[in-house]
């Protein structure tokens, strides 16, 4: 039985209520942290655990926490990033919907560790119903004395708020999120300063993903040492993977980091293989921003080693032959999938979501989408493929926030690994007769001339 | 004081100076040819939090500092990156950086209407300069350019959003020097546009300065619109007693007619002092002004092809010429 730390109680009826949650060991970490541990000791446990940010970048959480500036007389904030808008990623929603108290508990324990008396959960607008679930859970926690003033009689005060966003992908970028939380336009800030020094309302702030904060609960309960024994190498603990695409059993799976990709795709405990008996063609392993890999490179590294579900193994080979674990949005494509069409969808998304502050991303994302549209329409040429390559290289690394890179990488990877498909597309436009049908199916409006 | 080297020219600057500021100091002090100063389309010294948006000022940091000599992995915006002791920066000397900058220029131009022949800014437009100096001759963009409707911001300012490069300077001007912010950005991505709260069209004493900070022809002076090409007018330093602003301006003459009044700008295109709307719009008689003499326009744009430079400036400095030749050589590399 694989270890589960977050979703172990997901099937217990009523686990979304405080009563049932507590009967199953819930809120133990709050009791333990507030009554038996100092904030520094918790930060230390998180460091020992090796927990890495689950929002995409994989930055060590303990280290991030220890960077938090602590000037006297200035409030500090913990902000939970529940904006989850990366195409292919839906794990945070699953967790908040099923076990909302796990996030609330993690917020309390983490806030205590960071010395925050106010904390926020910023949730994307489309998850409106989930925000209701969270608000109910928070109300229950207030009533039970886990939130508010003098929590459990320890003298620690914490207020926790849910803020619903307007439904913009860019508001998942941590500084855009903070701007939005302050009630402004969700534009990423130019760094430095980093949030750890000047974040929300100019005060030191930690921004963490939902899953990262939830993982603090088992770390405090069982100790960082125990957590670090799960997983492989520097990829410790468990990870929620949002599996989607042409598989028999799409859904959210909690895996121990380090299981082979092949096992994840084909085992009945996870995705259950490719549906309709088809062959695997390609996988986007960590949400739409990370490079797509063809079958031979996703199952094995270029060196012939089995590829594992871990930060290190997935990125082995750099972008030439590797990819990233990212946010764990695992999109599987079977042999019938057109990479060209898939890429069009991605370019369309990033064009739509660019905030428009910096020139390369604002202009480049729209340009790439238009070229992809032209190719899909059957008017593309070989030159367009080269142009796409050139445009993505001129966006990458020249932007304010990583959305520019997130828009460039999928284009680069699709051309790097599937150039032949683009060439076929531009040389035999007849192969795309179904374009109109594709538009109707996906409710895409043709771009105005 | 940290020492920074830009394209081989070194200078000690105070802690917290940005690479762009350091290179401007080098150029102002005559220690480096102007051409080595990175172009800046969105940064504006007088406006807090400006810069970082347009990415034209990117440079390559080939050595981070004395302590940590590793090069920086990506090009950095020189208007935001502060110097460290021992930092080495490459601008014109790095062909890959010039290529990256040409990319940025191309992005800025793909949706720009290129309507210079009918644009009042032509001749003193930073985007013109930028594309002449850093861009490519042709365009690879073949789709329809995005368009917006023109908007009158009050009765004195025209907003021609098609030409805007979203440098955010006017937004910050409205925020920081006029009272009551009525300027902002709406919409997202390449549909983003500068907007005012129309019913409250900018109406206060310093609003006209948004015209001067605009690097392109997006915000123009309606009292001057289509009156003359700038290169047919004579810029003169002038002043008057004004109780609202410093009263020191540049008036642009045709014969004895004052065609327009602007703030005085330095060679990097930044105003020396903000001026009020009264001076800008209402004092259009030559008798309103005490004329000090011809204004030197030190910029490299079309307008400097005119004859207003003082003779002092035309004096040839041999050492500078030599450096400039090297620059020309780099430009050759870029073209090949
Ligand atoms: C365009 C963009 C979108 C992002 N969206 C999310 C998101 O939806 N959820 C999230 O947790 N992190 C997102 N991130 C990453 C955050 O900026 C930040 O790194 C993360 O919240 C840090 O939390 P962690 O250390 O727990 O991973 C996004 C980043 C970018 C550049
Ligand atoms: S990279 Fe894109 S999303 Fe990020 S700040 Fe620049 S324009 Fe906005
Ligand atoms: S001037 Fe530095 S980014 Fe625009």
- Predicted confidence (pLDDT) per residue in A257-304, tens digit: 999 999 999 999 999 999 999 999 999 999 999 999 999 999 999 999
Please report, to the nearest 10 degrees, the dihedral formed by the alpha carbons of residues B326, B331, B332, B333 taken in order: 100
**Rounded distance from Cα A420 to ligand 1 centre (Å):** 33
- CA proximity to A439, closest of A340, A331, A345: A345
Q: Given A351, A367, A398, which is nearest B110 (Cβ)?
A: A367
Confidence of residue B297 (pLDDT cuts 50, 70, 90): confident
Name residues whose C-beta falls within 8 Å of residue B116's C-beta, 6 or more positions apart in sequence: B122, B125, B128
A358 — phi, psi (to 5°)? -105, 145
User: Is the distance from CB of A282 to CB of A421 less than 8 angstroms?
Assistant: no
Delimit the domains of chain B by residue range. 3-97, 109-224, 227-305
Q: Does domain B109-224 have CATH number 3.30.70.20?
A: yes
Over chain A (449 residues), what is each successive 10-residue block's mean pLDDT? 88 96 97 97 97 95 96 96 96 97 98 98 96 98 97 97 95 97 94 94 98 98 97 96 97 97 97 95 96 96 96 95 96 94 96 96 97 90 96 96 96 96 79 51 49
User: Is the distance from CB of A392 to CB of A349 less than 8 angstroms?
Assistant: no
Q: For A446, which DSSP code?
A: P
**Rounded distance from Cα B273 to ligand 3 centre (Å):** 21
B333 — phi, psi (to 5°)? -55, -40
Is A173 touching ligand 1 by the criterion CB < 6 Å? yes
Residue of B nearest to A449 (CA): B144
| Residues from chain B contacting residue A394 (CB–CB below 8 Å) | 100, 103-104, 106-107
**Left (φ > 0), alpha (ψ -120 to 50) or beta: where does B318 sit?**
alpha
Mean pLDDT of the B100-126 span = 94
A259-266's contacts with Cβ under 8 Å and 24+ in sequence apart are A259/A2, A259/A308, A259/A309, A260/A306, A260/A307, A260/A308, A260/A309, A261/A285, A261/A298, A261/A299, A261/A306, A261/A307, A261/A308, A261/A309, A261/A314, A262/A299, A262/A306, A262/A307, A264/A309, A264/A330, A265/A332
CA angle A3, A8, A13 (to 5 degrees): 160
Atom 6 in ligand 2: residue holding the nearest Cα: A358
The single residue listed with the structure tokens 């507030």 is A34
pLDDT tens figures, B200-236? 555 678 889 999 999 999 999 999 999 999 888 889 9
Mean pLDDT of the B297-321 span = 49
Confidence check: pLDDT of B312 > 70: no
Give the minimum alpha-carbon distance from A300 to chain B in angstroms, rounded to a whole number: 29
Q: Report helix, strand or coil for A176.
A: helix
Angle of the A359-376 helix axis to the A403-427 helix axis, nearest 10:
20
The single residue listed with the structure tokens 């541990």 is A37
Confidence check: pLDDT of B132 > 90: no
- CA proximity to B302, closest of B169, B117, B157: B117
Q: B3-97 maps to which CATH number?
A: 3.10.20.30
Q: Given ligand 1 and candidates A47, A60, A81, which is best to mutate, with the most ligand atoms within 8 Å of its CB?
A: A81
Give the minimum alpha-carbon distance from A193 to chain B in angstroms, rounded to a whole number: 11
CA angle B227, B228, B234 (to 5 degrees): 120
User: Is the distance from CB of B18 to CB of B99 less than 8 angstroms?
Assistant: no
Is A39 touching ligand 1 by the criterion CB < 6 Å? no
Per the structure block, which two tokens stand in for B335? 């073209």
Q: Report helix, strand or coil for A251.
A: strand
Q: Do B143 and A367 touch (CB under 8 A)?
A: yes
- CA proximity to B8, closest of B317, B334, B267, B327: B327
Q: Given A185, A360, A449, which is nearest B144 (Cβ)?
A: A449
Residue of A nearest to B99 (CA): A394
Per the structure block, which two tokens stand in for A16? 């979304």
Ligand nearest to the CA of A63: 1
In order, the DSSP letters of A266-290 are H-TTTT-SBGGGPPEEEEE-SSTTS
Mean pLDDT of the B12-28 span = 96
| Neighbour tally for A125: CB within 10 Å | 14
pLDDT at position A60 is 97
Q: Report helix, strand or coil for A206.
A: strand
Q: Is A222 exposed, middle or buried (0-12, 13-18, 19+ CB in 10 A)?
A: middle
Q: Given ligand 3 and candidates B37, B51, B89, B166, which is best to mutate, with the most ligand atoms within 8 Å of its CB?
A: B51
Give the minimum alpha-carbon distance from B145 to chain A in angstroms, rounded to a whole number: 9
Q: Encode A294-329: b = buried (16+ Cβ within 10 Å), e = exposed.
A: beebbbbbeeeeebbbbbbbbbbbeeebbbbbbbbb
Q: Is B104 exposed, middle or buried (0-12, 13-18, 19+ CB in 10 A)?
A: buried
CA angle B238, B124, B95 (to 5 degrees): 135
Ligand nearest to the CA of A329: 1
- CA proximity to A288, closest of A86, A124, A442: A86
Q: Any chain B CB within 8 A of the CB of A365?
A: yes
pLDDT at position B309 is 43
Tell which atom from ligand 3 comes closest to the C-alpha of B43.
Answer: 1
CA angle B15, B17, B21 (to 5 degrees): 155
pLDDT tens figures, A20-78? 999 999 999 999 999 999 999 999 999 999 999 999 999 999 999 999 999 999 999 99
Q: Given A362, A364, A367, which is nearest B166 (Cβ)?
A: A362
- CA proximity to A314, closest of A325, A328, A302: A325
Pairing of strands A156-164, A118-123: parallel
Q: Report helix, strand or coil for A412.
A: helix
Q: Any chain B CB within 8 A of the CB of A89?
A: no
CA angle B289, B294, B299 (to 5 degrees): 120
Touching B: A residues 137-196, CB under 8 Å: 168, 170, 185, 190
| Residues from chain A contacting residue B191 (CB–CB below 8 Å) | 356
Per the structure block, which two tokens stand in for A424? 């076929």
Please report, to the nearest 10 degrees, the dihedral formed by the alpha carbons of residues A429, A430, A432, A436 taken in order: 110
Give the minimum alpha-carbon distance from A230 to chain B in angstroms, rounded to a whole number: 33
Touching B: A residues 381-420, CB under 8 Å: 387, 394, 397-400
Q: Given B100, B108, B189, which is nearest A352 (Cβ)?
A: B189
Q: Do A399 and B55 touch (CB under 8 A)?
A: yes
Q: Say how far residue A196 (Cα) sits from the centre of its chain.
A: 20
CA pair distance A211, A216, nearest whole angstrom: 9
**Rounded distance from Cα B9 to ligand 1 centre (Å):** 40
Confidence of residue B299 (pLDDT cuts 50, 70, 90): low
Ligand nearest to the CA of A95: 1
Ligand nearest to the CA of A61: 1
CA pair distance A406, A56, nearest whole angstrom: 11
pTM of the model: 0.91
- CA proximity to A418, closest of A328, A342, A326: A342
CA pair distance B261, B303, nearest whole angstrom: 16
Name residues whose C-beta falls within 8 Å of residue A419's C-beta, 6 or more positions apart in sequence: A385
Instruction: Enumerate the β-bridge partners of residue B254.
Output: B257
Confidence of residue B181 (pLDDT cuts 50, 70, 90): low
In order, the DSSP letters of B245-263 are S--EEEEEEETTEEEEEE-
pLDDT at position A449 is 42
pLDDT at position B151 is 87
Q: Any chain B CB within 8 A of the CB of A362?
A: yes
Q: Where are the alpha helices (DSSP H) in A239-381?
A: 261-266, 295-299, 311-315, 318-321, 339-353, 359-376
Is A67 touching ligand 1 by the criterion CB < 6 Å? no
Per the structure block, which two tokens stand in for B284? 């259009």
Is A400 touching ligand 2 by the criterion CB < 6 Å? yes
Confidence of residue B17 (pLDDT cuts 50, 70, 90): very high
């Amino acid at each position: 039985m694989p270890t589960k730390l977050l979703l172990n109680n997901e099937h217990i009826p009523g686990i979304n209520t405080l009563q049932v949650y507590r009967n199953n060991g819930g809120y133990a970490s709050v009791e333990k942290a507030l009554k038996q541990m100092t904030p520094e000791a918790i930060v230390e446990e998180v460091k020992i655990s090796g927990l890495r940010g689950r929002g995409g970048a994989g930055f060590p959480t303990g280290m991030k926490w220890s960077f938090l500036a602590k000037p006297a007389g200035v409030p500090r904030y913990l902000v939970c990033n529940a904006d989850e808008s990366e195409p292919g990623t839906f794990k945070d929603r699953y967790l908040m919907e099923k076990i909302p108290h796990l996030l609330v508990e993690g917020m309390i324990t983490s806030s205590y560790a960071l010395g925050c008396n106010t904390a926020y959960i910023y949730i994307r607008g489309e998850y409106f119903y989930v925000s209701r679930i969270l608000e109910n859970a928070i109300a229950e926690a207030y009533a039970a004395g886990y939130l508010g003033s003098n929590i459990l009689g320890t003298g620690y005060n914490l207020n926790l708020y849910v803020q619903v966003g307007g439904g913009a992908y860019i508001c998942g970028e941590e500084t855009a999120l903070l701007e939005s939380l302050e009630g402004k336009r969700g534009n990423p800030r130019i760094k430095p300063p980093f949030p750890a020094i000047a974040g929300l309302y100019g005060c030191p702030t930690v921004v963490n993903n939902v899953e990262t904060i939830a993982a603090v609960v088992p770390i405090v309960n069982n100790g960082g040492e125990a957590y670090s024994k799960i997983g492989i190498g520097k990829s410790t603990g468990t990870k929620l993977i949002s599996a989607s695409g042409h598989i028999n059993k799409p859904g959210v799976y909690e895996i121990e980091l380090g299981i082979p990709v092949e096992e994840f795709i084909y085992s009945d405990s996870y995705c259950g293989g490719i549906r309709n008996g088809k062959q695997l063609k390609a996988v986007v392993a960590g949400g739409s921003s990370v490079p797509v890999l063809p079958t031979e490179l996703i199952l094995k590294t270029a060196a012939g080693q089995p590829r594992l579900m871990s930060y290190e193994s997935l990125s082995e080979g750099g972008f030439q032959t590797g990819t990233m674990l990212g946010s764990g949005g695992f999109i599987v494509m079977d042999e019938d999938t057109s990479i060209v069409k898939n890429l069009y969808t991605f370019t369309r998304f990033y064009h739509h979501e660019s905030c428009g502050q910096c020139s390369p991303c604002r202009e480049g994302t729209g340009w790439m989408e238009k070229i992809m549209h032209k190719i899909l329409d059957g008017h593309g040429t070989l030159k367009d493929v080269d142009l796409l390559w050139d445009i993505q290289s001129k966006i990458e690394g020249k932007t304010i926030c990583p959305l520019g890179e997130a828009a460039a990488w999928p284009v680069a990877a699709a051309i790097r690994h599937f150039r032949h498909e683009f060439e076929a597309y531009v040389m035999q436009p007849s192969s795309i007769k179904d374009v109109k049908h594709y538009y109707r199916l996906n409710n895409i409006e043709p771009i105005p001339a | 004081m940290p020492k920074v080297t830009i394209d081989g020219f070194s200078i000690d600057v105070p802690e917290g100076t940005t690479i762009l500021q350091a290179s401007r100091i080098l150029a102002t002090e005559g220690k480096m040819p102007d051409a080595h100063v990175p172009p800046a389309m969105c940064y504006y010294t007088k406006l807090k939090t400006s810069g970082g948006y347009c990415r034209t000022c990117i440079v390559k940091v080939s050595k981070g500092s004395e302590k940590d000599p590793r090069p920086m992995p990506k090009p950095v915006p020189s208007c935001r990156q502060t110097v460290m002791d021992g930092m080495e920066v490459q601008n014109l000397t790095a062909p890959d950086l010039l290529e990256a900058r040409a990319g940025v220029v191309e992005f800025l131009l793909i949706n720009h209407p290129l309507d210079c022949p009918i644009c009042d800014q032509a001749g003193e437009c930073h985007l013109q300069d930028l594309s002449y100096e850093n861009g490519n001759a042709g365009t690879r963009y073949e789709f329809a350019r995005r368009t917006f409707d023109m908007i009158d911001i009050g009765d004195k300012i025209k907003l021609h959003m098609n030409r805007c490069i979203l440098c955010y300077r006017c937004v910050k001007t409205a925020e920081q020097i006029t009272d009551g912010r009525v300027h902002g950005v709406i919409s997202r991505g390449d549909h983003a546009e500068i907007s005012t709260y129309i019913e409250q069209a900018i109406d206060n004493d310093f609003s006209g300065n948004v015209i001067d900070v605009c690097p392109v022809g997006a915000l123009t002076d309606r009292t001057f619109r289509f009156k003359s090409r700038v290169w047919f007018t004579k810029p003169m330093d002038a002043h008057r007693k004004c109780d609202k602003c410093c009263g020191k301006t540049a008036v642009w003459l045709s014969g004895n007619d004052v065609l327009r009044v602007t703030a005085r700008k330095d060679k990097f295109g930044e105003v020396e002092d903000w001026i009020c709307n009264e001076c800008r719009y209402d004092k259009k008689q030559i008798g309103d002004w005490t004329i000090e003499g011809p204004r030197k326009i030190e910029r490299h744009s079309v307008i400097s092809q005119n004859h207003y430079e003082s003779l002092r400036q035309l004096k040839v400095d041999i050492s500078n010429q030599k450096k400039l030749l090297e620059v020309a050589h780099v430009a050759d590399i870029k073209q090949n």
